[in-house]
A = this chain, B = another copy of it.
Amino acid sequence: MAPIKTKSAPHGERRAAQRETPGGDEKWRTALTCIEPNKILVRGYPLDEMMGRLTFGESIYLLLMGEVPSPAIGSLMEAVLVSFIDHGATPPSTLAARNTATTGAALRACVASGILGFGRYHGGDIESCMHFLDSGLEQVRNGSSYRDAAAAIVEKCLANDEAIPGFGHRFHTRDPRAARLFQMALELEAEGEHVQMIRAVEMVMSDRAKDGPPMPVNIDGAIAAVCGDIGIPPAVANALFVISRVPGIAAHAREEIERHKPMRQIDPKDHVYDGPYQRRLPERRK
C-alpha cells in the first residue's frame, strides 16, 4: 500500500517534520547578502562599491536576478520601474494607504496597507500575461505561426469567459507607457519572441474590436512581453511590480498627512489635480 502523505498539523505546526534537513543540525542557506565585520557583499559585490556605480534600479536587478544587468537590460529595468511608479489617487491600493494615513498611522503602516491591495484584479496581470504569452509561444515552437497561435490563445480565453491579460484600459485608448516601453526595447535591440507574440495578439484583438471599444496593449502587457524577452521569470516580474509602486503609495500617504485633515472621508471620485501642468524635462535629460 502506498504511503500516506498527509497535510497534517494545522496552525504553524504542520509540515514541520519536513523541515529537518539531512543531518539535522545543518545550517540553512542564503545567497543574497553576506555580512562580515566592516563588509557587506550583495551577491558578491561590496555594497559600498555599488554605491555610486550601480543605480538603485540596477541594484534591484542584481538582488533579484543575481547578476549586474547589461547596459541595455539595465535601461529597460529602470524604464519598467519608472513606468509603474504611480497612477494617481484612484487605484484602491492608493486609497487603502490614504485611508490608513488619515488615521494618523505611521508611514510604514500606510505603505503596508497599500501593498496589500495588489490583489487578483490589481497588478496581477503581468504574471498572467507572461503565462498567456508563453502558452502562445509553445504553439509557435510546435509549428504554428505567431498569428495562428495568437488567435488560438485569444479564442481560448474568450471561450472561458476570461479577459485577455495585458489588454484594455479604462482611461487610455493607447497606453503611452506601453508604447514607450516597446520603442525602448526596439532601440536597445532587446525585442524577442514575447514582444512578437504580443504584437500578434494585438492584431487579433484589433480585428475583433472593429465594432467595439479599442483594446490596446496596456503597460502590464508591455512589461510582461519585455520581461519575457530579457529573461525575467514571472515571479520576479511580480516582485518588480510591488517594488515599483511603493514610492507612489508612500508619496500619496505623505501628501495625505501633510495636506489633509485627519479622519477625513475620502471620496475617490471627488478630487482634482493641482500640481504643475504638462512641462518639459530639463534638456540634459534628453
- The verdict on A263 contacting B104 (CB below 8 Å), with A109-B109, A170-B8, A244-B56 known, is no
Residue on B nearest A16 in the bound complex, by CB = B170
Count of this chain's copies in the oligomeric assembly: 4
Question: Within 8 Å CB of A5, what residues of B?
Answer: 158, 161-163
Residues from 153 to 173 in A contacting B, C-beta threshold 8 Å: 158, 161-165, 167-173
- The verdict on A168 contacting B83 (CB below 8 Å), with A235-B107, A242-B250, A281-B50 known, is no
Taking a contact as CB atoms under 8 Å apart, the answer to whether B247 and A63 are in contact is yes
Distance in Å from the Cβ of A205 to the closest Cβ of chain B?
7
Question: Within 8 Å CB of A2, what residues of B?
Answer: 158
Residues from 95 to 147 in A contacting B, C-beta threshold 8 Å: 95-97, 99-100, 102-113, 115-126, 128
- The verdict on A19 contacting B120 (CB below 8 Å), with A4-B208, A163-B8 known, is no
Taking a contact as CB atoms under 8 Å apart, the answer to whether B244 and A170 are in contact is no
Question: Within 8 Å CB of A42, what residues of B?
Answer: 85-86
Residues from 59 to 105 in A contacting B, C-beta threshold 8 Å: 59-60, 63-64, 66, 68, 71, 75, 78-79, 81-97, 99-100, 102-105
Chain A interface category by residue count: 35 or more
User: What CA separation (Å) do A242 and B57 show in the bound complex?
Assistant: 16
Taking a contact as CB atoms under 8 Å apart, the answer to whether B264 and A267 are in contact is no
Distance in Å from the Cβ of A75 to the closest Cβ of chain B?
7
Lowest 5 A-B CB distances belong to which pairs?
A12-B91, A7-B163, A8-B168, A104-B120, A103-B119
